[in-house]
Structure 1
Amino acid sequence: MRVLFVHQNFPGQYRHIAPALAARPSAEVVALGINPAPTLPGVRHLRYAVAGRSTPGIHPPAASFETATLRGEAAARAALALKAEGFCPDVICGHSGWGETLFLKDVWPRARLLTFAEFFYSATGADTGFDPEFPGAEGDAFRTRARNAAQLLAFEASDRLVSPTAWQASRIPAVFRDRLTVIHDGIDTDLLRPDPRVRITLGRDRLSLGVGDEVVTFVNRNLEPYRGYHSFMRALPEILRRRPKARAVIVGGSDTSYGAKPPAGRTWRDIFLDEVRADLDLSRVHFVGNIPYRDYVDLLRVSMVHVYLTYPFVLSWSMLEAMALGACIVGSATPPVEEVIRHRRNGLLVDFFSRRAIAEAVVSVLADPAAVAPLRAAARETALSYDLERVCLPAHLRLIEAVAAGGGA
């Protein structure tokens, strides 16, 4: 079986799938992407370059589609070069979000296309318009609808679609759902397991923390409103006031991954820190930036309570990883989180916008950690259903095999 993976930031969601396929004696695996990628055993990685850029002054709703077609054309030209070498994939696996797969069926009409459908945008019911503090600009609804144009073409060309969660799948237009399968990317629950012996040292502060210390963790790729950073920071003064031994360890960068950028020259990190600075004991608030994965895992092992807040958007791996590590989750009562967390069964759910509710939930855990031990154990059990090696990776491989055979159930 010949398989082509297409992802501008390869490996992305295919980090485990691609080498697992490549390990099979009969498989030939090639990947296309824009950026440099780590070497994966058995995977031939090729880069393509996008020629040109969006037209200056283009009508705003059309901008994302032009960018997608530029990227799709560049990927197709790289595909034509592969075809000239004699490479003809049985299955193409690609992400729908960037336009890369738009023209690949024109290069290889007989190939089967399995599309990763991560998120379909809409002006209601999801991230857009969710947060009244950031209402957006006039015309955002038009741009949001237009943003889906390339995805709709990608879905139409696809033989099968796969989404990581049921809620994300529910956002896909109904006309395509008969070809849609839900399989999570998977987390390594063998690596991600509790360890009561672990201690961490916060570098600059040289502060040693271990299991049993009142450690509150908050983790984002970047600290921004989409992932509830503003709500967390507004709750933090009350948490630290009521728990004088508690410490907050905050992981994340100062860029913007999603949504609106902050005012020029500012970062969301500093904007919301400045808002509460006068009410915080900053000696107990530790911003550690982006840290190595091993350090991140050990941090979550010592976390007494892990706060995960998100708009109705893509569910972060970090929440499931924290659950696998036995953390007690205080999560936002938003659809992606509610799919996984059951209130008072395997975590606690709170109003995304309520600093009082967030603080009350966190303080309740810190005040009586033994009382939430069953929630921690249940969180770990829930995470096992997302296990990479035993659940999710085998399901992805079966789906690819079925697609190659002309099916996909």
Structure 2
Amino acid sequence: MKILCIHQNFPGQYKHLAPALVEAGHDVWALTLRVKERAMWKGVKLVPYKVERSSTKNVFPLVADFETKLLRATYCYRNAMTLKKQGFEPDVILAHHGWGESLFLKDVWPNARMGLYCELYHLSDPEFTQFDPEFAPKTPEDQPLKLRLKNLNNRLHEEIMDSGLSPTRFQAGTFPAAFQDRLSVIHDGIDTDTVRADPDAALQIENGPRLSREDEVVTFINRNLEPYRGYHVFMRALPRLLRDRPNAQVVILGGDGVSYGSKSPDGRSWKDIFLDEVRGQIPDADWARVHFLGRIPYETFLSVLQVSRVHVYLTYPFVLSWSLLEAMSAEAAIVASDTRPVREVIAQGETGRLVDFFDREALLREIYALLDDPETRARLGAAARRHVVETYDLRTRCLPEQMAWAEELAAKTARPPQD
């Protein structure tokens, strides 16, 4: 079977599936912005494409998002046409359509079966649009319009989707009824053989201490440090945490950009905004126990999880982070926000502790309780890992289910593009 993968940040969610399809004997290609010339990655043939113009300056705001996706779709389409002229005919297209790239690929290959990674459908329900009043939109009455237009990409892809998968029930549930009979819930998978507890783990902080399981380490991890992931809530709890726990070492991972929400009104990074807000409340001696590591190699990331005594995870009702499940796999004791995506993976008092997203007092109370209770930490950590192994393990659960999904997709009758 000939398979084409489309992902703006390839391999992304196809990190494990694409090489596994190669190992199963399939001819796997990827059309991607990540390379400048043809290359090979784990048996996958990488073909570059380039977006040759940027979005229109001062474009009408309501169409800005779709224009960006349309640009990617157009240039991806043009490069796909070049592949077609060279004789390339995929049986299956696997696409994360979130950036729009795959929108016109059925016009190139109408007989190819398209499987979409359905990450999120944007809903105008107050649970999503008004979850955090501090960052409410300036014109809330416009939000349903903006979200409806943002979903144009989802809606147009639904017409050509032969099958889809979502990593969690929460994310799948955001999609309308028209998607549901073609949508499977299969997580990307956690490599629990690699991500596991290590009593001998150590983390050397550059120009700082060497941390181990003997230290009182509190960890907080985001891809980017931003309100969607509760960075502001955690930072505002930090002065008290450092004052009340004089031995605590706080390790914070994450970049300075924005993954999901909006940029700050003044252009500064959210990281700096909330760092500046609390820094004056923290004496230098306490601040020396706060370690911002930015983005780090995966081996170092694992060490962070393995030395963590309490791991804090906060999120809006949104896409669930891999890092939470990886922390659970490493047997970290979790304190997390009591929001719907989190409740899907953490049972209160069984695999972690849940607190109201905005309740700093409850957050600190649960952190302190776990720091003082090694037996409960061990029980929660062991149960968390057991749940991840049973439900989200890459090799025994998720990857076999993904492979079966791809093979079932190949047997379907392709939905052609519609006029």
Q: Which amino acid aligns with 1:399?
A: W
> What do residues 29-83 of structure 1 show as CA deviations (whole Å, max 9, x unaligned)?
1101112298422211111112333333332212222222221121111111111
1:99-118 residue CA offsets vs partner (Å, 9 max, x unmatched): 11111111111110101110
Q: Is the 8 A contact 2:218 2:311 kept in 1?
A: yes
Structure 2 CA distance, aligned partners of 1:272 and 1:331?
Answer: 20
Following TM superposition, by how much is the alpha carbon of 1:264 offset from its aligned partner in structure 2, in angstroms?
A: 3.2
Quote the residue 2:146 is aligned against. Answer: 143
Shift in CA distance, 332/407, structure 1 to aligned 2, threshold 3 Å: farther
Matched residues in 1 for 2:58 and 2:306: separation?
Answer: 50
Q: Decide which of 174, 186, 194 is 1:171's aligned counterpart.
A: 174
Q: Give the corresponding residue for 1:86.
A: 87
* Aligned residue number for residue 121 of structure 1: 122
Compare 302-311 and 96-105 and name the one that shifted more.
96-105
Cα distance in 1, alignment partners of residues 123 and 147 from structure 2:
6
8 Å CA contact 1:331, 1:349 repeated in 2:
yes
RMSD, matched Cα: 1.6
- Mapped contact 2:203–2:210 kept (Cα < 8 A): yes
**Could you tell me which residue of structure 2 aligns to residue 15 of structure 1?**
15
Q: Output aligned runs, 1:202-351, within 5 Å.
A: 202-205=205-208, 207-264=209-266, 266-280=268-282, 281-351=286-356
Amino acid in the other structure paired with 1:47: P
> Which deviates the most, 266-275 or 41-50?
266-275
Matched, 1:60 2:71: no
Give the superposition deviation at 1:191. 0.4
* Alpha-carbon displacement from aligned partner over 1:267-310 (angstroms, at most 9, x marks no partner): 21122122222332212211121111101101110100000001
Residue number in structure 2 paired with 1:30: 29
One-letter amino acid matched to 1:271: I
AA at the equivalent of 1:29? V
Query: How far 1:265 sits from its partner (Å)?
Result: 5.2
Please give the alpha-carbon distance, in whole angstroms, between the structure 2 residues aligned to 1:215 and 1:341.
21
Aligned partner (choices 197, 200, 215) of residue 194 of structure 1? 197
**SS of aligned partner of 1:121:** coil
Whether the aligned pair in 2 keeps the contact of 1:220 and 1:251 (CA below 8 Å) is yes
Which residue type is aligned with residue 296 of structure 2? Answer: I
Determine the structure 2 residue equivalent to 1:153.
156
CA shift for structure 1 position 128: 2.8
Query: Would you say 1:403 and 2:402 are equivalent positions?
Result: no
Is the 2:3–2:27 Cα contact (8 Å) retained in structure 1?
yes
- Name stretches of at least 5 consecutive residues in structure 1 with no aligned partner: none
CA distance in 2, matches of 1:269, 1:75: 34
Report the secondary structure of 1:57's partner residue: coil
Aligned length in residues: 406
Amino acid at match of 1:402: E
What CA distance in whole angstroms lies between the structure 2 residues aligned with 1:36 and 1:353? 42
| Contact 2:7–2:97, Cα closer than 8 Å, also in 1 | no
The amino acid across from 1:204 in the alignment is N
Gaps (5+ residues) in structure 2? 415-419
Which one-letter code corresponds to 2:238 in the other structure? L
Task: For 1:317, give the aligned amino acid.
Answer: W
CA distance in 1, matches of 2:384, 2:362: 21
Mapped to 2, the partners of 1:405 and 1:208 lie a distance apart of: 54
Following the alignment from structure 2 to structure 1, what is the Cα–Cα distance between the partners of residues 177 and 267?
43
2:99 is paired with a residue of what secondary structure? Answer: coil
CA distance in 2, matches of 1:167, 1:214: 33
CA contact (8 A) 2:332 2:377 kept: no
Partner of 2:185: 182
User: CA 1:209 to 1:56, structure 2 compared with 1: closer, same or farther past 3 Å?
Assistant: closer
Deviation per residue, 1:202-249 (Å, 9 max, x gap)? 1111x1211132100001111111110010111122222222211111
TM superposition score normalised by structure 1: 0.96
Tell me what 1:5 maps to: 5
Contact 1:126/1:313 (8 A) holds in 2: no
Secondary structure of the equivalent of 2:73? helix
Structure 2 CA distance for aligned equivalents of residues 117 and 35 of structure 1: 21
Task: State the match for 1:102 in structure 2.
Answer: 103
Residue type at the aligned position of 2:33: I
Give the Cα–Cα distance (whole angstroms) in 1 for the partners of residues 31 and 164 of structure 2: 19
- Normalised by the length of structure 2, the TM-score is 0.93
Secondary structure in 2 aligned to 1:395? Answer: helix
Amino acid at match of 1:260: S
**1:363-405 CA-partner distances (Å, limit 9, x unpaired):** 1111112223211110001111211111111111110001101
CA contact (8 A) 2:336 2:354 kept: yes
